[in-house]
Each structure stands twice: as C-alpha cells, then as structure tokens.
C-alpha cells in the first residue's frame, strides 16, 4: 500500500492503527493483499521448476524462511476470503477487549487540560478508531464504516490482541511540536494522525525515488549456542547492516548472550551501530523507586515519617518545580501537571532519569565478556535515558511505560559514538533536547513578563536538585551494597 501512489495515505493510516476502516481503505488493502499474494505465488512456482538444491545449512535456513513466509501468506488468503464485521461490532469488541486487558487507558483523558483532547481520547478508548477526516478523491467523506480486517478477522490460533494503544507509540514531544506548528485546532488524536501521515508520506517519497527498499524476512532470534542460530545471524551480518534495531530483545537474554548474538549480526566490515531499549532494567537498579528511600531493611534509622529524600523527590515530581518546568517547555499546553497517575509512577520516571546510567554502564561492562574482553561497547541513549543526557523532559500518560532505557552502541572500536557535551553530573538530565532548544526563548519571554522568580534561578535550582539527588542515590546504593554484603 505504501509503495502504491494511488493508495491514499489515509488508508495506510487506518490499516496500521485503527480498529475500523472506511470502505475505500478496505478496497485498497484487499487490492494490495492480492498483489502481494500473486507475486509470492509466481516466485514459488518458479522455484518448483528448478532442480532440487543441495541440502546444507544455508539451504535449510532458506527452507525455514519459506515456511515462515507461507504462514504469512495464509493470513493474506484468509483476509481475501473473509467478510468484514460491522462498525458497531468492531466498537463493541474493542471496548470489551480494552476493558479486560487495558482498562487504564480510560483514565488517560484526565491528564489532558484541553476539553477537545479529553473528548477525543475518551472516544478513542471506547472505539479504537483513528481517522484524519480527509475526504476521498470523489469528494465523499472517507469515514470508517467496517471493522479492521487485520485486527478482528484473523485465522484460528493467531496471537491475541494485547495492550494495543496507538497514541503510546509517539513521543509526547512530537505531539506538542505538531500542536504548536498546527494552524488548525486539532485534538490530540488528530495531531497523532497528522504526524503519522507526514511520516508515511515521507516514507512513500523515499520509496518512489528508489532511496528506500523494504524487504521482509522471517526468523527467530536465538542465543548463539542454540540449533540453527548461527546461520540466521550470519544471514543478517551478510547484509552488511549499518544499523540494527533490537527493540527490547535485550530483556529476553542474559546480557552476555545478547551481546554475543548482536556481535554476530554486525557487519564483517565493522561500522554497525546497534539500537535497543530495556523495559526491565529498573528491577536491577536500586533507587529507581521512591520506596527505596524509605525502606526499613536498608535504612532502619530512617523509619517512620517520609525521609527528607522522599519529600524532595515528591516535591520535584508533584510540586512547583514540575509545574515550572512544564511551563518553560510548554508541556502545560497539553498536559495537566502532575498528570493523572499514582505518585509512585510519576516519581519513577524522574528517578529513572537519574539512575539509568548505572544500568547502561552495567550493559556496557557485559559487552566485554561476550568476546574475551575485545572491542568496546559505547552506550548512548535516546527518548529519556542515556549516559550523556535524557532527551525526554516529562513523561507521558500515554506511554505503556516511561522508564525504558534507550541506547545506541557499537562493537567497532574505530567508531566513537558521541554521548553529548553535557554530563549527567551537570544535573541537566531534567531537561530534554526539546526543552533546552526552547529555553532561551522562553527565558526572554518570562523576563519580559516580569515573573516573580527568574527562570534562570529556577533552572539553577533544578540542576542543583538533580546533582543532590544523584549524590544521595549513590550514597544509598553504596550503603545498601555494604549491608547486603554483611548479610551474606
């Protein structure tokens, strides 16, 4: 669909994200599905006409790929031969599923300050419907009228629909940027649709000009010591990848096993940069939960009322500092501060910003053990968690989790990934790239308005607070480590 210039971007948007489709989107999808299936069948027929190949590891791997592709094609055949469900049935199924598996999304609307956003998010939580509202080529409104084939019409035995929430896939900074740049009064769902449509249009442009080609392959990532793993990993390395994105595969292996297989996927020529993130790292690092600072087993002398450290954390996340930062960076244009969530979760994001570099160093240290200590691993982060600086200023109520550590690294010692000029110890982790970019402008604006408190003083206070929290957490971690050693 994306490569077909006759297919409206609106149709691609609906197929990718919406629980419901318009008639036009359904027809476009079925046309593209039939084309892909036809091309694959032609390719299979041409293979059958050739002589039987010699059986070896590479051939066995190719046969596995063909078998996996055949399973994908079974979905396409199923969609071509099935009937769409009605709009009402699709809405009912979405609501029932969301209520059972992802009920927290109904509270997301409470965290947005504009009425149009609260209404739009409530409607999305009830229906799962995303539509830009653009008209079809014939001038008729291209509005959803049937249920999504991909979401509701799947073969028996298909994996279940889990916590599906489209808006959680976009950074809150991107939504804010779209809001500030938009001349129309779009609600947050409309901002999401507009931003995605621009990205899809850019992808289509690259494809049409031959700058981008998309090839889909099927395979299972396994530890290198498992059967048939080496052949699959070598097939990736033979592509000479410049970048490899791992999603959160990191969480499903021991770190040494993960680094070993990631090395195998790197280009033999070097120059491969890897990207990935961990959602589970907070379970390994003391200080990522506010409860760590009031735990009697570690700090028996601090039992009773909340410690000063806990009070500082709560004030930083829920009090005036959080509101002033939201004002300076204009997040208050969309979100209430603090937003509608438990103090435990809100504080968790701030503490993750201050603690994530400890885990990133641990991640890097394990890279040395995956190849006899050779080759360096340079952690570098994105979306809020890096050794250099955090590039999310404020968490979002739309995310599944806002504590993930995003990193980039390489196993090529010739590459030096720039971590950034600011140090974590500078206390700048509380400011994002977006926030720093606009701070000078906002500083001038607030000075002109003669605010009671100079924003520069406020920034200095925030930086000092960040440094102080960091030093205290390091002290707590050392104290906890000593007590743990004594217990052992």
Under DSSP, the state recorded for 104 is G
Distance between the two ends of the chain, CA-based, in angstroms? 60
Q: What is the pLDDT of residue 78?
A: 95
Q: What is the pLDDT of residue 92?
A: 95
pLDDT tens readout for residues 417-445: 654 443 333 333 333 333 333 334 444 44
Q: What is the pLDDT of residue 252?
A: 94
> Distance (Å, rounded) from C-alpha 323 to C-alpha 455?
12
User: In the chain, where are the structural domains located?
Assistant: 9-49+61-208, 229-487
The reported pTM is 0.78
Chain centre to alpha carbon of residue 389? 18
> Distance (Å, rounded) from C-alpha 123 to C-alpha 343?
26
Tens-of-pLDDT digits for all 488 residues of the chain?
988 999 999 999 999 999 999 999 999 999 999 999 998 888 887 766 665 555 555 666 666 677 778 888 999 999 999 999 999 999 999 999 988 888 888 889 999 999 999 999 999 999 999 986 665 555 456 789 999 999 999 998 888 887 889 999 998 899 999 999 987 789 999 999 999 999 999 999 999 999 999 888 777 888 888 877 888 888 899 999 999 999 999 999 999 899 888 888 988 887 888 888 898 998 988 888 888 877 665 556 655 555 777 888 888 888 888 888 888 888 899 999 888 888 888 898 888 888 888 888 888 878 765 544 333 343 333 222 223 333 344 578 998 888 888 888 888 777 766 544 433 333 333 333 333 333 344 444 444 544 455 544 544 555 454 545 445 445 444 443 433 333 33
> Distance (Å, rounded) from C-alpha 287 to C-alpha 281?
12
Q: What are the CA-CA distances from residue 445 to residues 268, 430, 434, 450 (Å)?
A: 53, 21, 17, 9
Enter the tokens of residue 410: 């390489």
Q: What is the pLDDT of residue 302?
A: 55
Helix segments in 129-187, DSSP class H = 149-152, 172-181
> Distance (Å, rounded) from C-alpha 106 to C-alpha 88?
19
Residue 274: CA count within 13 A, CB half-sphere: 30
């Amino acid at each position: 669909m994306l490569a077909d210039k006759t297919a409206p971007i609106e149709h691609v948007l609906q197929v990718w994200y919406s629980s419901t489709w318009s008639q036009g989107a359904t027809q476009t999808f079925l046309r593209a599905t039939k084309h892909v299936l036809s091309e694959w069948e032609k390719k299979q027929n041409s293979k059958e006409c050739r002589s039987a190949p010699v059986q070896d590891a590479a051939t066995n791997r190719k046969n596995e790929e063909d078998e996996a592709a055949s399973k994908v094609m079974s979905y396409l055949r199923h969609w071509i031969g099935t009937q769409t469900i009605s709009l009402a049935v699709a809405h009912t199924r979405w609501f029932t599923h969301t209520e059972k598996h992802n009920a927290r999304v109904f509270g997301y609307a409470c965290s947005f300050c504009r009425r149009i956003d609260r209404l739009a998010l409530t409607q999305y939580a009830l229906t799962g419907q995303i539509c830009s509202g653009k008209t079809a080529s014939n001038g008729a409104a291209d509005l959803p009228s049937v249920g999504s084939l991909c979401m509701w019409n799947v073969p028996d035995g298909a994996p279940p629909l889990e916590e599906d929430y489209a808006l959680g896939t976009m950074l809150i900074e991107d939504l804010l940027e779209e809001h500030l740049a938009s001349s129309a009064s779009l609600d947050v769902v409309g901002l999401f649709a507009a931003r995605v449509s621009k990205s899809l249009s850019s992808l289509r442009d690259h494809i049409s000009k031959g700058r981008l080609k998309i090839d889909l392959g099927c395979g299972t990532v396994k530890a290198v010591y498992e059967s048939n793993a080496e052949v699959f990993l070598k097939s990736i390395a033979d592509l000479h990848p410049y970048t490899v994105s791992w999603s959160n595969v990191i969480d499903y292996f021991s770190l040494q096993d993960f680094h070993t297989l990631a090395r195998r996927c790197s280009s033999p020529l070097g120059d491969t940069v890897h990207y990935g993130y961990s959602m589970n790292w907070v379970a390994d690092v003391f200080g990522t939960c506010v409860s760590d600072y009031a735990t009697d087993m570690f700090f028996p002398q601090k039992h009773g009322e909340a410690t000063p450290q806990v009070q500082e954390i709560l004030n930083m996340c829920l009090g005036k500092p959080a509101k002033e930062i939201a004002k300076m960076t204009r997040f208050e244009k969309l979100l209430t501060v603090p937003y509608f969530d438990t103090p435990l979760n809100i504080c968790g994001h701030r503490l993750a910003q201050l603690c994530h570099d400890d885990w990133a160093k641990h991640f890097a240290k394990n890279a040395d053990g995956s190849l006899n200590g050779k080759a360096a691993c340079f952690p570098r982060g994105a979306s809020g968690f890096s050794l250099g600086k955090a590039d999310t200023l404020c968490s979002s109520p739309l995310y599944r989790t806002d504590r993930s550590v995003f990193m980039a690294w390489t196993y090529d010692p010739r590459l030096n990934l720039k971590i950034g000029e600011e140090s974590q110890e500078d206390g700048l982790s509380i400011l994002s790239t977006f926030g720093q970019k606009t701070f000078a402008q906002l500083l001038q604006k607030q000075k002109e308005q003669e605010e009671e408190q100079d924003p520069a003083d406020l920034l200095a206070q925030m930086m000092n607070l960040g440094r102080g929290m960091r030093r205290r957490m390091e002290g707590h971690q050392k104290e906890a480590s000593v007590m743990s050693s004594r217990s052992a």
